[in-house]
Amino acid sequence: MAEKKLSKKALSSGFHRWYYGNLTCFSQEHMQTFGYLCSMLPLCKELYADDPDRMAESMDTYRTFFNTEPQLGAIIVGVTAGLEEARANGAEDVDSETINGLRAGLMGPIAGIGDSLVVGTVIPILLGIAMGMSGGGSPAGAIFYIIVWNLFAYFGMRFLYFKGYDMGTKAVEFLVGDIGTAIREAVTTLGGIVIGAVSATWVSVKTSFALYNEAGEAYMVLQEKLDSVFPGLLTAIFVIFCWWLMAKKRFSPLKVMGLLVVIAFVGVLVGFFNPGLSY
């Protein structure tokens, strides 16, 4: 029997189906399972064109629940494409159980890395730059983001998918290994700095609290005092306060928003906040 080799066309089709369809039919119960099935379909069809029973066995493998960070997760789909090819060629150590064990073992760590790297760092950095280019309502920033993010996502995912297919689980070691760790730390710092700049530029929490002397002149303007300590101090305090509520007190974002409404209301009543409206 001739060695079966997946054609470039089938692999490419498998990749594009994952790239587009990883979450199009989402439900809380199955999440990315159907996206995965659709991505494996062209591959299994090519490998088992003449054997409906093995085709069914193989497709059944991917009925198991799957959910991870979809961009980085392309590597897992690529790895299973390689494994499926090995199974079609009669590799004895590859069966449904090993494939699903691998998928279940990888989807957690990849989701963790992906969420903090892609969603928590790369996207906010790009958005931060884009917002910097949006001054005066210019569309340049939005266009910049559309182009850069999509090129990055498409070619990044493509690279990961084919690396996964070529190198198998070794490819994953790149992500969790030394270089991966070093890149992650560097990018996280980059993200932290950019987010700091974004919050100083776009968020502005100001107090109107002031003490007046008998002649009606303000002799203590709290906002100026705070800014002389650290410009934007009040904004930074509010951000860290929100972080503390969510990270340490386990508040949900909606709960924090609710609390901010209360703080705003009380603040306005006591004169701490007054968004200089012209009445």
- Sites for other proteins among residues 241-270 (CB under 8 A): 241-243, 245-247, 252-254, 256-257, 260-261, 263-265, 267-269
Binding mask 130-149 for other proteins (x = CB under 8 A): xxxxx-xxxx-xxx-xx--x
The residue within the footprint of other proteins, chosen from 205, 210, 221, 222 (CB under 8 A), is 205
The residue within the footprint of other proteins, chosen from 12, 54, 59, 210 (CB under 8 A), is 59
CA dist 42 and 55 (Å) reads 11
Spatial CA neighbour of 48 closest among 16, 4, 11, 8? 4
Query: Closest approach of Cβ 212 to other proteins, in Å?
Result: 20
The residue within the footprint of other proteins, chosen from 4, 86, 95, 123 (CB under 8 A), is 123
In the chain, which residue ranges form alpha helices assigned H by DSSP?
8-21, 33-47, 52-61, 70-88, 96-114, 123-132, 140-167, 169-176, 178-202, 222-229, 233-247, 253-270
Query: Closest approach of Cβ 57 to other proteins, in Å?
Result: 11
Question: DSSP class of residue 136?
Answer: G
Kindly give the pairing relationship between strand 210-212 and strand 218-221. Answer: antiparallel
The residue within the footprint of other proteins, chosen from 6, 14, 22, 172 (CB under 8 A), is 22
Taking CA atoms, 86 is separated from 9, 95, 96, 110, 208, in Å, by 18, 10, 12, 23, 69
Please identify, among the stretches 4-12, 81-89, 119-127, 211-219, the one whose residues bind other proteins according to the rule CB under 8 A. 119-127
Please identify, among the stretches 87-95, 98-106, 166-174, 212-220, the one whose residues bind other proteins according to the rule CB under 8 A. 166-174
Comparison of 181 and 214: residue with beta carbon closer to other proteins:
181
The residue within the footprint of other proteins, chosen from 54, 96, 120, 176 (CB under 8 A), is 120
Cβ within 8 Å of residue 49, ≥6 positions away: none
Spatial CA neighbour of 83 closest among 66, 69, 72, 98? 98
Binding mask 79-118 for other proteins (x = CB under 8 A): --------------------------------xx-xxx--
Query: Closest approach of Cβ 213 to other proteins, in Å?
Result: 25
